[in-house]
Amino acid sequence: MIFIITGVSGSGKSTIGSLLSKKTNLPFFDADDFHPKANVEKMTQGIPLDDHDRMPWLNTLSDKIAEWENSGGAILACSALKESYRQILQSIPGIVWVHLKGEKPLLEERLQNRKNHYMNPGLLTSQLETWEDPDYGFHLDVSNTPEELVNEILNHMESLNAPSHFGIIGMGVMGKSLALNMAEKGVPVAVYNRYVSGKEEKIASGFAEANSGFPLLKGFDDINDFLSNLESPRKILLMIPAGTAIDTQIEQLLPLLNQGDILIDGGNSFFEDSNRRSEYLEKKGINFIPMGVSGGEEGARKGPSIMPGGEIKSYELISPYLKKIAAKDKLGKACLTYVGPQGSGHFIKMVHNSIEYGEMQAIAETVHLMRYGLKLNPLEIAKVLREWQHEGLKSYLLEITADILEVKENNGFLVDMILDEAAQKGTGGWSLKTAIQNHVPYSALSEAVTARQLSAKKKERSELAKLYNHRFRAFADDKVLILEHLKNAYALTRIINHENGFNLMKEVSDNFQWKLDFSEIARIWTNGCIIRSTLMEELVQLFQNTDQILQDKNIIHRAKEWKSDLTYIVGLGLQHDFALPVMSAATNYLLGKIIDDSSANIIQAQRDYFGAHTYIRKDDPDKKPRHTDWITYKK
């Protein structure tokens, strides 16, 4: 076994390496001893080494590592400041990387007290600036004593041979990212992927081998070997596509599981399916956790927002591991919470995605108006969006949209080369179906789903555009004034999108008696997830006082102020042939929600006229249903 202990000067590489050598009986080597004479002279004079200086030294060390591995192993202390240096040293698989890290004042003090060493203490600043923090290996804080650090390393090595604490089935993008996240955070994790001849062969074992810098990661291509490696009760996270694949995988696992084992569905399953699976597995003695995970590939790797449901006792068994890998809110608390019974975790993830649909469409409409109504180029639009980020509208989606608009390709912009056909998965449609079933008005977010469906009809749209001679018409109004209207219109649309989503959560929570905590849900959505924003941070506090967004006094003040901006922008856009489905729906939803005397009296009269469905009179305190013989009454 080869240990490589990295870190800047003064972090204690040699001290730790020497102590570890005594504990393991592996020979210890200091990389500084392999520097050529010219490098030593430079460092003695306080002159930093450059990459040209380091290359011969690194290549020598790489050769030595291969020799030491053949002779039984070794411990090497080496600064290895850059990832490119570490890649050169990675001449064999299975190296155990130990990264020592400490605060600059502590490192400076150690260097000042060090005697008979050629390294000039003045080089510390340049080393800290050069250091590239690795996302693998074992990270140690050097403020602890050398003995404590060596014990941590030895305990870490013991865990490599122990059963894995967590298992993940499904090595797609999300499954791989979560596995690396766990292994990096100190969780021994085993991974498995199905075997399909000619298509999916040695996926899990190949993934573990390709990531040998994560010694807590083990890959298995046989399901029995995978399950045998897991400690009891086994905690197995399914990261496979929603639908029949989940049911099929559960049926394959059931004969191999023991009572008390925990199955976690981390995909985007429909919550009603999760409710059914919860009841089914409970009868089998298997604990089931339907769990939403948001953040995409980057979030899964660096820290997602995690939304587990199911039985709380099962949640308590897995929560210590989930806390390690979850994103952190602004107070440092994990973006993780126990949502509630049954499929409630998948339910709120579904609603999260629905709000995400609405936000993406609202931003797309906003950018479209800037591009073709105001005739701004992508760089100018990106600049506006970045300004909005600092004017109370900060969000992840707004940020990445600005990034997208700034990417150039040859003499143009990459975004202009992307076909305008938006794809979608099932969560948006499921949300709309759920809203209809629970009689919840959902117009703004349902229009986001419809907009994607229309976009998919590219051929038909192109044909009709020619038949109708459709052209966007530029705005003649003052550009600065329109941008101010547009900013406020987008801000209000964003509020209404969130109100739609949380309103659906409230209705379903009441119907299922889940008792969802909306403040806590908003909190775990302040980081790690796709819809994180300053608005979400505001909702954490808002939901501590009310469960209705539009009844909050601060929201009321802004909605009153921005309502005219939203109606102006929608009117302006429609007059100039822009489709604004989400902004238009948000306008109608808000007006329909705050109006006292609506047009529904006409509808009730019509229903009674043709179907005798009855109506209620305003002046009847008993609210008694009435029917009028309209034809006779007319005569």
Helix (H) or strand (E) holding 529: none
Residue 298, Cβ neighbours under 10 Å: how many? 11
Q: Report in angstroms the alpha-carbon separations of 287 from 226, 309, 499, 514, 582.
A: 19, 11, 34, 18, 40
CA pair distance 314, 328, nearest whole angstrom: 22
Q: Report in angstroms the alpha-carbon separations of 29 from 15, 63, 71, 154, 198.
A: 11, 13, 14, 19, 45
CA pair distance 200, 205, nearest whole angstrom: 11
23 DSSP β-pair partners: none
Residue in this structure with the two tokens 């009709």, named with its chain if needed: 464
DSSP for residue 168: E
Helix (H) or strand (E) holding 96: strand 96-101
Taking a C-beta distance cutoff of 8 angstroms, is the pair 88, 56 a contact? no
Q: Mark whether 487 is an active-site residue.
A: no
Of 19, 59, 16, 17, whose CA–CA distance to 35 is shortest?
59
307 DSSP β-pair partners: 292
Helix and strand totals (H; E) in the chain? 27, 14
Q: Catalytic one among 184, 356, 499, 538?
A: 356
- Can you spell out the DSSP letters for 345-383? HHHHHHHHHHHHHHHHHHHHHHHHIIIIIS---HHHHHH
Residue 617, Cβ neighbours under 10 Å: how many? 11
Q: Catalytic one among 349, 447, 487, 537?
A: 349
Antiparallel, parallel or unpaired: β 189-192 and 262-265: unpaired
Q: With left for phi above 0 and alpha for psi between -120 and 50, is residue 55 left, alpha or beta?
A: alpha
Could you give the count of Cα atoms lying within 13 Å of 190 in the half-sphere of its Cβ?
Answer: 25
The token duo for 539 is 């909702």
Q: Report in angstroms the alpha-carbon separations of 608 from 602, 603, 604, 616, 624.
A: 10, 9, 6, 11, 14
CA pair distance 424, 438, nearest whole angstrom: 23
Q: Report in angstroms the alpha-carbon separations of 235 from 164, 263, 319, 557, 609.
A: 10, 6, 11, 48, 61
3-state secondary structure of 103: coil
Q: Mark whether 394 is an active-site residue.
A: no
Torsion of CA 254, 256, 259, 260, to 10 degrees: -90
Taking a C-beta distance cutoff of 8 angstroms, is the pair 277, 287 a contact? no
Residue in this structure with the two tokens 């975790």, named with its chain if needed: 345
Taking a C-beta distance cutoff of 8 angstroms, is the pair 163, 231 a contact? yes
In 3-state terms the chain splits into helix, strand, coil percentages (rounded to 5) of 55, 10, 35
Residue 173 φ/ψ, nearest 5 degrees: -60, -50
Active-site amino acid positions: 349, 356
